[in-house]
Structure 1
Amino acid sequence: MDFVSIRRTPEPPAFATKDIKIERRVYDVDADSELVGTIVMGSMDTGRRALRPQPSMDWNDPLNWSDWQKCRTYLIICLFSFLAAANTSKFVLAASLLEKELDQSPMAIGFLTSFKILASGIGNIFWVPVMRVIGKRPALLLALPIFVAANVWSAKTHHFNQLLASSVLSGFASAATEASVMAVVTDLYFVHERGAKLMIFHFALSGGVFLGPLVNAYIIEYSTWRVACESYAIAAGVLWVIAVLFFQETTYHNRDVYAPVSSYGSRTTFAGRLSLVKGYDEHRNIVHVFCDCISIVSYPSVLWTSVLVGPFSAWNIVIQLISYKTFTEPPYNYETPFLGLFAISGFVGSILAIPAGGKLIDNLSNRFTTSHHGTREPEYRLYALIIPAVIGPAGVVLFGLTIADKRPWIQPAIGYAMQGFGLTAISNIAVTYVVDTYVEHAAEAFTVVFVLRGVIGAVVVLYGDNWVRIAGEKQAFGQMVGVQYFLCLCVVVFLLWGKNIRAFTVRYGPVRRAGYP
């Protein structure tokens, strides 16, 4: 990482300071913030020079790839994210069948989902260091067969302990897509594109969360839950074949923006793109990357994003659990397929979030950058949080109140759509903010986000139903909304003092170890 600031005065050479007492460096907020997100462009920066990060003249630089090359590589990861998210809900909808078939309690069956969610979070601690050292392509090509094997194991076993182990294994494999997606986005796309591109990932994730119950409900109703497991194994197997042929390694070593085009070779051939060693980084150490994944939790923006995304994702699981229990009992008495159809409302909300949480934050950031004479701050994106921060929690309230009073299904469906809108938009806005801030450590930062999301989700799956039953639906949903609004209001801290907070974080942790001067 090149940590050169136009504001920082270089220190004199050692021979010139031999007999001179050098005072301790004075920290400069403006200079330090340029190391963690702030971009200052000169009036003469046009064309390629105005792009951040600035691409080299190499045809094989991922920043110079064609739109089709970038799209197919990124979409493969997004499709894996969709499958992983959809795979999570199959045991929720088959809970009553599993209780009878395996002779287990509801709490034990809940372990199948909660431990899978936990494994999908904690698995990032393994996949991020592996991905940083050996590359994204081999990591993805390893994770997909594990996902296939886990679902085949689930489909064939007749023992609860084996089903639990296979569920945990599928969650572990799913973590590979979350571990790599942030690094891939920073490898492929410029800063002014990241909001819209990351929204594609979050839309795929939301699509799996909301459309997964629809697919699972119909498969379970008209076949068995084992067929659902086999279906995910087949889909992941097909995706693995596609990934072998079309997923390119996005890691690029030693980018030199000043080297002439004549110093580079020809385009990589199709056979060359199939290499599994192109992303290997001999200068990285798995232990050091692991330590970065742990220590980066001390960065305030990373911690805030983690505790913000976690409750929104976890409460969506509670809504699915409450929907399953409520709509299959009087006065509704709906069949299992209705639960899948009901989840479409959340998917509609996530569709509406695409412009509000994607392109809008890019446009806001670009406009603020222009009005500030070429200075781009990551905090410019956070103003877009206002709308989903109001609508999302309000949807949770609407769902809780209407479901408690046994209102017609359309009313809680509207609340669920509002929740889906808030979940998708808020997640993308907060995630993009952290990616812009710690672009070189994006994967490590989101290890924390996904681990905490997994822990919170696992706890909510196990104890959320008891919370709602003891406190009452209205009170429980009201308490959760209070937590959500409080976490959303914390954005004010970053809007007012975000630059100072970012500048302070260069003094310790991964950024300091990466070469802070």
Structure 2
Amino acid sequence: MAQEDEAVAIESLNDEKRPGNVTAHDEPVRSSEEGKTTDGGIILIPQPSSNAQDPLNWPMSKKATIVATLFLAMFVGFSAPFCGQLNINQQAALYNKTPVQITYFNSAASAGLATGGYLWWPLSNKFGPSSIIFWTLFGQLAAQIWAPMMTQPSQYAPYLASRYLSAFFGVTVSVLGPRYLVDMFFLHQRGRAFTVLHLALNFGASAGPTFAGFVAAHSYWPVEYWWSVGLTGLTIIIVFIFLEDTSYDRTFASNRVKPNSFLRDRMDTFFPGSKVVSTQHVWSHTAKMAITPFKIAIAPVVLIIAGFDAISFGFYVALNALTPVWLQLPVKAGGIYGWDVTQNASFTFIHWVGFIVGLVYGHFLSDRIPLWLVARNKQNKWKPEYRLYALWPTNFVLMPLGLGLVGCAMQYRLHWVVMALGQFFVTIGSLVSIPVTVNYICECFIRTHTVEATLVLNSMRLFLGLSINFFINPWIAAVGIGWVYGMMAFFSVFAFMFLVVLMIWGHGIRKKTPFGTSESEEGQHVLTKSREMNLGI
């Protein structure tokens, strides 16, 4: 009977793909005694208002356009700081540094990503998140122009500073973007939405070096930055045209009415005046809001998720930052492959394949697995921890296996295909884990401090990746390069135990959040009674 019930549950969840039922692009709704629901029998959480200006009521085409705009802005934000990741030998010769010292710019960029949000978050409450995203793109544009101008041997420090500022301005969407998704999408859609948006994070950090490597493979290294300058300028125009304000208070009687004039709406959204902000905050209130992330940072649930992310994502960052050193190190100097920049850039396409596989996995399973667990829990109630179960195959199996394969390839000088397979597995684990954990943290603070929790998680995630370049050589000297990656594999398995703790005791851990900052959607009914009867529960 258990197997029959499981089959019925899966079949019922698959019915949302059939004609006439709910899909990610078509959300017909109806009213029932439980409230508004989809045709597939899923209760809409949160319940939309009757106002057409409510972002939950917007057509999927408009939501998709906003997500695509945020995707492009996040892609630029994470690709620009890492453009110089592959062409390290020319920079090492110019600045009279070792290749590993050149990779310190990855640490400078990670520091910018870890700190920028602490400024942009409080300012977004004063001027609106869309305005902050728009204007920080200009800051990143300036940083991208600055970097290729640093062509003197004495300009190593200014070059690192340009990488810090590029990331400092570029992190904005990863901090503010999740709020747009929470505003526009229902609970049963968010997994897919978060997967799509956060693809830009990993894809940008990988594709930026790939594009730059091909551009500058047979040229002097400053050339590799100019394509990102053009893309950043184009992104500013696209953001100005398509990015919409999604703030909407369903308990507030006088939300902003969007003007009929397109130009007037754009001026209200992006220029001083704060007309898209429902509450006009004075600067003293803005300063108080800047303190909130530090309160949330001590919440046990945030610390546990951040511990997992810091290890799993930190090793992915370290892999990206250090792989060019290992691949391009001449064989006569102890290297394995002795590749040039073009070969290294071609190798990075393995990350692209991993992104595609991870995107497909996240699209089809990041929402279905939690819904399946709801159908099986006999109470038809939502738990945020259901989100985390999607990470079992990717982060408990694939990521440790991938790190182990990279270590074996390095230690025993195996064919590059082994190295590629390992990086492929690690990439899948990284791509899937980020949207799932960010989505989980957002849902833990869904009615209180979504952005602040995301900000803290984003910054804590980067600490290991920021610092690993400084101690990788002593680590290798102590245990050998094979066991460096072998230890990373075991650490990844250990980090997954943090998620297991939340799967088992997550409810109690969330209740221990200080300052009354945690309020989730736990306990809400997700399936209608008719659907419960169809499932036999």
Q: Give the residue type in structure 2 aligned to 1:376.
A: W
Distance 2:61 2:36 in 1: 25
Matches within 5 A, 1:432-447: 432-439=439-446, 440-447=448-455
- What's 1:255 paired with? 250
- Partners of 2:314 and 2:463 within 8 A in 1: no
Verify: 1:415 aligned to 2:422, yes or no: yes
Matches within 5 A, 1:3-152: 44-47=34-37, 50-106=43-99, 108-152=101-145
Determine helix, strand or coil for the equivalent of 2:406. helix
Distance 1:74 1:264 in 2: 22
Matches within 5 A, 1:112-511: 112-158=105-151, 159-252=155-248, 254-256=249-251, 269-274=261-266, 275-276=268-269, 277-280=274-277, 281-283=279-281, 285-328=285-328, 329-330=330-331, 331-371=336-376, 372-389=378-395, 390-439=397-446, 440-505=448-513, 508-511=515-518
Give the CA deviation at 1:85. Answer: 2.3
Query: CA RMSD of the aligned region, Å?
Result: 2.6
Task: Note the alpha carbon deviations across 1:107-132, whole angstroms, 9 max, x for none.
Answer: 65333221121111111111111123
Distance 2:78 2:180 in 1: 19
Task: Note the alpha carbon deviations across 1:452-487, whole angstroms, 9 max, x for none.
Answer: 223222101332244234321121112212221111
Distance 1:486 1:72 in 2: 39
Determine helix, strand or coil for the equivalent of 1:47. strand
- Partners of 1:250 and 1:279 within 8 A in 2: no
Distance 1:422 1:308 in 2: 12
Which stretch of the first structure deviates more once superposed, 187-196 or 130-139?
130-139
Give the CA deviation at 1:272. Answer: 4.4
Determine helix, strand or coil for the equivalent of 2:491. helix
Give the CA deviation at 1:499. Answer: 1.3
Change (3 A) 1:474 1:188: same
- Partners of 1:345 and 1:413 within 8 A in 2: yes
Distance 2:209 2:388 in 1: 32
Distance 1:278 1:247 in 2: 15
Give the CA deviation at 1:192. Answer: 0.8
Give the CA deviation at 1:170. Answer: 0.5
Change (3 A) 1:108 1:402: closer
Determine helix, strand or coil for the equivalent of 1:410. helix
Distance 1:468 1:320 in 2: 17
Determine helix, strand or coil for the equivalent of 1:508. helix
- Partners of 1:137 and 1:247 within 8 A in 2: yes
Give the CA deviation at 1:143. Answer: 0.6
Task: Note the alpha carbon deviations across 1:137-172, whole angstroms, 9 max, x for none.
Answer: 110111100000111111223322322222211111
TM-score (norm 2): 0.81
Distance 1:266 1:156 in 2: 43
- Partners of 1:350 and 1:420 within 8 A in 2: yes
Distance 2:409 2:428 in 1: 18
Distance 1:265 1:139 in 2: 21
Distance 1:217 1:386 in 2: 34
TM-score (norm 1): 0.84
Distance 1:471 1:266 in 2: 62
Give the CA deviation at 1:273. Answer: 3.1
Determine helix, strand or coil for the equivalent of 2:414. coil
Give the CA deviation at 1:86. Answer: 2.2
Task: Note the alpha carbon deviations across 1:13-34, whole angstroms, 9 max, x for none.
Answer: xxxxxxxxxxxxxxxxxxxxxx
Structure 1 gaps, min length 5: 1-40, 513-517
- Partners of 1:308 and 1:488 within 8 A in 2: yes
Distance 1:436 1:511 in 2: 9
Give the CA deviation at 1:269. Answer: 4.6
Determine helix, strand or coil for the equivalent of 2:503. helix
Distance 1:418 1:102 in 2: 35
Change (3 A) 1:272 1:373: farther
Task: Note the alpha carbon deviations across 1:355-384, whole angstroms, 9 max, x for none.
Answer: 333431211222333444441111112221
Distance 1:44 1:106 in 2: 62
Alignment coverage as a number of residue pairs: 467
Name which structure has the greater RCO, CA cutoff 8 Å, separation 6+. 1
Change (3 A) 1:131 1:474: same
Q: Give the residue type in structure 2 aligned to 1:490.
A: F
- Partners of 2:35 and 2:43 within 8 A in 1: yes
Q: Give the residue type in structure 2 aligned to 1:155.
A: P
- Partners of 2:143 and 2:163 within 8 A in 1: yes
- Partners of 1:400 and 1:477 within 8 A in 2: yes
- Partners of 2:400 and 2:493 within 8 A in 1: yes
Distance 2:346 2:374 in 1: 43
Change (3 A) 1:405 1:107: closer
Q: Give the residue type in structure 2 aligned to 1:215.
A: F
- What's 2:8 paired with? none
Determine helix, strand or coil for the equivalent of 1:467. helix
Structure 2 gaps, min length 5: 1-30, 520-537
- Partners of 2:78 and 2:167 within 8 A in 1: no
- Partners of 2:100 and 2:325 within 8 A in 1: no
Give the CA deviation at 1:321. Answer: 4.2
